[in-house]
Amino acid sequence: MTKSAPTKTGSTKTTCPYCGVGCGVSAQRATGRQAVIAGDDTHPANYGRLCSKGSMLGETIGMEKRLLHPVHRGKRIGWCEALDEMARRFSDTIERHGPDAVAFYVSGQLLTEDYYVANKLMKGFIGSGNIDTNSRLCMSSAVAGHKRAFGEDVVPGCYEDFEEADLVVLVGSNTAWCHPILYRRLLEAKEKRGTRIVVIDPRRTATCDDADLHLAVSPGADLALFNTLFCELHARGAADTAFVSAHTEGLDDALAMAATGRGSLASAAGACGLDENDLETFIRWFAETERTVTLFSQGINQSEKGVDQVNAIINCHLLTGRVGRPGMGPFSMTGQPNAMGGREVGGLAGQLAAHLEFSGEACDLLSRFWGTDRLTTKPGRKAVDMFDAMADGKIKAVWIMATNPAVSLPDSNRVRAALERCEFVVLSDCVEGTDTAIYADMLLPAAAWGEKNGTVTNSERRISRQRAFLDRPGEARPDWWMVSELARRMGFADAFSYDGPADIFREHAALSAFENNGSRVFDIGALAGLSEEDYDALQPVQWPIRRNAAGSARLFGLGEFPTATGRAKFVGTPVSASSPDRNFPLVLNSGRIRDQWHTMTRTGLSVTLSANELEPFVEIHPDDARARNIGDGHLVRLETEQGQAVARARIAPGQRRGSLFMPIHWSDMNSAAGAVGRLVHPLTDPVSGQPAFKNTNVRLGPLEPVWHAFFLTRTEIATAGFGYWTRRRIEAGYLYELAGLSDGERSPEMDALAGPPLEGDEVIEMRDDTLGSLRTARLNQGRLMSCLMLSGNGRLPSRDWLAGLFASGVLDDEMRRALLSGQSASGKPQGPVVCACMGVRADTIVDAIAEHALTNVKEVGECTGAGTNCGSCRADIRKLIDERQREEAA
Ligand code: SF4
C-alpha cells in the first residue's frame, strides 16, 4: 500500500459520486461554489478520463434545490430540536412496539463511514435487522449468487481483466452508457488485441454497436441461455477437469438440473428467441477462449430469478476454471458508487458488518467487538418487504437516507401509500422537494458531494477517498454525524463517540480483521491504524489488505474459496416457464439513459446533461407501434396492474417485438406521469429480494392531445392542472413540454402563462385561430423572458434555437424578427447535443460529415471533438453517419 499527500496544486482528489466504476476526480476550487472538474489521471479506475456525468459535476454543485435546514412538519427547527424529536419518536416506538417497528432505508450514495454507523446503530444497538439499502435494487442478486458459489460476497476480478481478455461477454448491461469509462477501456483493448465482444440483451443498445455478436435474447431467457452454454461446454469437453475436481463441488447435480428438458441446440435457440447459428457461435467462442470475462449487471440482477441467473453465469466460469486469473472471470458491475462499501459494512438487511453472517459465532464476535448486548440475531426486512411492512402498519418509524424510494422502488403508488401510513418518516438528503420529501415528517439537510469526507468502494473492490473541497452550506451535516447524534440521544453515546470519518474507518478496518484469521476474505486490517494524515492521504487500494500481507487485485485464482469445504459450489439453476398475460400483452423493461443519474435530483440540474433527452419516452418496436396506430413522437399511455404512465413514443427497430423500454429517471418533480416505478410490479427474487424491474406486463395505447405546446421561461411555473407536462433545465431558465389530454384541462393559453404584461415588458404575439395556434413571447428591456408556442396539430418549431436565446442577453433586430418563427434567420436548426462531454450538437456533426466526407466515428472525433472523451455518444454519432450515407444512396 502506498500513501501520498493530497495534490499540492490546489486541486482535491476525490471520487465520482455516480456509477460503480468509481472514477477518480480532480476538483479545483474556483470562485464561489464553482469548481473545475477533471479526471484524476493517477486513479487506476479511469486514468484521467470521466464520462459526461462525471465531467459535468461542476454544473451540479451550486445552491439550487439545496435543503439547508432541518424542517419538522413544514417548520424550520434547529438540529438539537430535530435530533431530540427523532430520539423521542424512535425510542417511544421501540418501547411500545419493539425494535422491529423502526427501520432505516439507506443508499449506495452514502459513504462507507456513514453506512457503518447506520448499520451499527440499527443492528447493534436498536437491535433490529431493519436496515436495508437502495443497493438492494441494483446488485443484491449478485451478492447472493457470490455467497452461494464462493461462500462470500466477493468479486474475484479487476478492471484490468477487461484489457487482458480475448472474449468479453456483456450480459444485461448497456455498458457504453451505464459504465462508460470501463467500456472505453474495453474498446481500447479491443483495438489493441482484437478482443471479441458479445452483448446479450433483448434490445439493441448503444453497446451493441461495438459488439462482434449481439444475442437479442427473449426477455427472461438468460437463465435458459446460460444453462445451455453450461451443458454445451461440458458436452464439448471444454471443462477444466483438474480445476473442477480439485476446487469445486456439486457439478453433477447442477448439470442435471441445467439439462432438465434439454433438447437440440435448435430448440434451445428457439426457447431463447435466438438464431441457432448465433447461439452456436457464442458457445464456440466461449468454449475456445481461455481468457473470457462475463460482465453482468442490472439486466441479470433485476429479475425474479436473478440469483439463479448469476449462478448460471458463475457455473460456466467454474466449469472452465476461469475465475480470478488474468483476463478471466465472472464480473458483477455495480450500479452505484458505494454499493460495494455498503456490502462491506452490512448495509443489506441479511448481512452483519464486515461480511459476517447471522450465525451464533458471528453474532458473538460482533457483540464483543461493539460492546453490546443488544445485537439482533436475525436478518431484517429487505427493501420491498420493508415498505410493505410500513403499509401494513408494522413499521411505524423510518429514517430514509440519501435516496428517493417514492420514485425508485417498484409499485411506487403502494410505496407512497406506505409512507403516508407510516407514523414518523425522516428523510435526510442534500436536495429538497423530492417525491419522497412530500411524505417526510422531518427533513434533515445532508452534506452533498464535494462537502463530504470518507471512502467508497468500486466494483473491483477498490477503496477510494471522497474528499471535501467545498464548504457545507446552511446547516448541512454529514450523515455519520446525524446517526451518531441520534445514537447518543438514544442512550448509546459511548459506542458512537466518533470525532470524524477517519475514526469510523479505523474501527471498520479493525472489525474486518477481528478474529478473522483468514476466515473472511474481506479484511482491511492493514488500514486499522491509519493516522488522520494517513487517512487523508489514502491512495486507491483494493481489498483484501491484510496485516502483514500483500493485497490482491484478483482472488480465487489458486482455487481456494471461503466455503466450509474450501471448494466453490456449482448451484443448480432450474428454468421455470412464465405465461403471457392477455390483458397486458407487452413486456416493459426499464433502465438508464446516457446522461442522467437515478431520479435526476442532481444531474437534472446540469444544463448540459439535460440537453440530450427532453422527455420521458418509451421505445416501441415498429410493428407494435403500427398495430396500435402509434407514430414516432406521439404521446402514449402505459398501463399495468400497478398504475399508469404517459410518455413520448420512440419507434425503435432495436426493440424486440412485444418489448418496451422506458428510462427510470423521471419523477413527479419533473413530469406529470413519467415515473416508471408506478408501473413496475413488486415481484422480487425469492433469495435476494431484488425487484424484477426488467419484465412487467403492460398495455399500451395512443393518446390524442387536443393541443401541444412548449413554454420557455426564466422561472419555474406551477404545473398543477396540466394533463401532460415535463420540465428540463436550460441555460438561464426552464423548458416545459405541455399537452392537453382532454378538454377542460388547464391550458397555457387559458391560463395566460405568457401573462399580462408587467411594467417594462413587451409582448409580441402571433395567433391563428383556424389552426388553433398561438405563438407569444415576452421581452423585458430587450431580453427574452418567456415564450409560448402552442399548436392544435402538434407542429411546433425546434426548441434549441429559442432556448439558446435565453442565454443571449439583449436580442438583436434579426433575432426579434425571427423569434416567433422559432428559428434563426438562416433557418438552420441546431439539433440536440450529441456529445455532452465536448458540447457538440447534431448540426455541427452533420455539417462536418457532409463537408469532409467523414465515414466513421474516429474521423468525426478528429474533426469536431465529438466522442473523444468518454465515447458514450459514439452510437449516436454513428447513426448520423448512417443517415447521411442513406441520404446519399437514395
Ligand atoms: Fe462517474 Fe462516469 Fe466514471 Fe461512472 S464512468 S464513475 S459516472 S465518471
pLDDT above 80 (res 832): no
Report the atom number in ligand 1 closest to the C-alpha of 182. 5
The CA dihedral of 123, 128, 129, 134, to the nearest 10 degrees, is -90
All 3 cell numbers of residue 555? 482472488
Kindly indicate the confidence band of residue 423, based on its pLDDT and cuts at 50, 70 and 90: very high
Q: Kindly state if the Cβ of 19 falls inside 6 Å of ligand 1.
A: yes
Q: Kindly state if the Cβ of 180 falls inside 6 Å of ligand 1.
A: yes
Q: Kindly state if the Cβ of 71 falls inside 6 Å of ligand 1.
A: no
Q: Kindly state if the Cβ of 53 falls inside 6 Å of ligand 1.
A: yes
Distance from Cα 50 to the centre of ligand 1, integer Å = 6
Least confident stretch, 437-446, 526-535, 863-872: 863-872
pLDDT above 80 (res 198): yes
Q: Does an H or E element contain 541, and which?
A: strand 541-542
Least confident stretch, 86-100, 528-542, 582-596: 582-596
**By alpha-carbon position, which residue is closest to atom 3 of ligand 1?**
23
All 3 cell numbers of residue 315? 457455473
Say what the pLDDT of residue 871 is: 85
Question: Can you tell me the distance from the alpha carbon of 395 to that of 407, in angstroms, rounded to the nearest whole number?
Answer: 20
Say what the pLDDT of residue 669 is: 93
Distance from Cα 39 to the centre of ligand 1, integer Å = 10
Q: Kindly state if the Cβ of 18 falls inside 6 Å of ligand 1.
A: yes
**Which residues, 6 or more positions from 888, have their beta carbon under 8 angstroms from its beta carbon?**
none
Kindly indicate the confidence band of residue 752, based on its pLDDT and cuts at 50, 70 and 90: low
Distance from Cα 607 to the centre of ligand 1, integer Å = 18
Q: What is the pLDDT of residues 571-628, one digit of tens each?
A: 999 988 777 788 999 999 999 989 898 888 888 889 889 888 889 999 999 999 999 9
Q: Do residues 3 and 534 make contact, with C-beta atoms less than 8 angstroms apart?
A: yes
pLDDT above 90 (res 4): no
**What's the pTM value of the predicted model, to 2 decimals?**
0.94
**By alpha-carbon position, which residue is closest to atom 2 of ligand 1?**
51
Q: Higher model confidence: residue 498 or residue 786?
A: 498
Question: Can you tell me the distance from the alpha carbon of 207 to that of 178, in angstroms, rounded to the nearest whole number?
Answer: 10
DSSP state at residue 66? B
User: What are the beta bridge partners of residue 248?
Assistant: 568
| Average pLDDT score over the chain | 93
Question: Can you tell me the distance from the alpha carbon of 712 to that of 789, in angstroms, rounded to the nearest whole number?
Answer: 9
Q: Kindly state if the Cβ of 50 falls inside 6 Å of ligand 1.
A: yes
Q: Kindly state if the Cβ of 181 falls inside 6 Å of ligand 1.
A: yes
Q: What is the pLDDT of residues 275-321, one digit of tens each?
A: 999 999 999 999 999 999 999 999 999 999 999 999 999 999 999 99
Q: Kindly state if the Cβ of 347 falls inside 6 Å of ligand 1.
A: no
What φ, ψ does residue 481 adopt, rounded to 5°?
-65, -45
Report the atom number in ligand 1 closest to the C-alpha of 16. 1
Q: Do residues 727 and 670 make contact, with C-beta atoms less than 8 angstroms apart?
A: yes
Say what the pLDDT of residue 6 is: 44
The percentage of residues in the chain with a pLDDT greater than 90, rounded to a whole number, is: 78
Distance from Cα 15 to the centre of ligand 1, integer Å = 9
Which single residue is written with the C-alpha cell 423510518?
398
Question: Can you tell me the distance from the alpha carbon of 450 to that of 472, in angstroms, rounded to the nearest whole number?
Answer: 9
Say what the pLDDT of residue 887 is: 84
pLDDT, average across residues 505-511: 98
pLDDT, average across residues 253-271: 94
Say what the pLDDT of residue 1 is: 38
Kindly indicate the confidence band of residue 5, based on its pLDDT and cuts at 50, 70 and 90: very low
Distance from Cα 183 to the centre of ligand 1, integer Å = 11
Q: Ligand 1: which of 181, 449, 459 to mutate, judged by most atoms within 8 Å of the beta carbon?
A: 181
Q: Kindly state if the Cβ of 21 falls inside 6 Å of ligand 1.
A: yes
Residue of 185, 210, 183, 188 whose CA lies nearest to 199: 210
Distance from Cα 261 to the centre of ligand 1, integer Å = 43
Q: Kindly state if the Cβ of 38 falls inside 6 Å of ligand 1.
A: no
Report the atom number in ligand 1 closest to the C-alpha of 15. 6
Question: Can you tell me the distance from the alpha carbon of 164 to that of 195, in angstroms, rounded to the nearest whole number?
Answer: 9
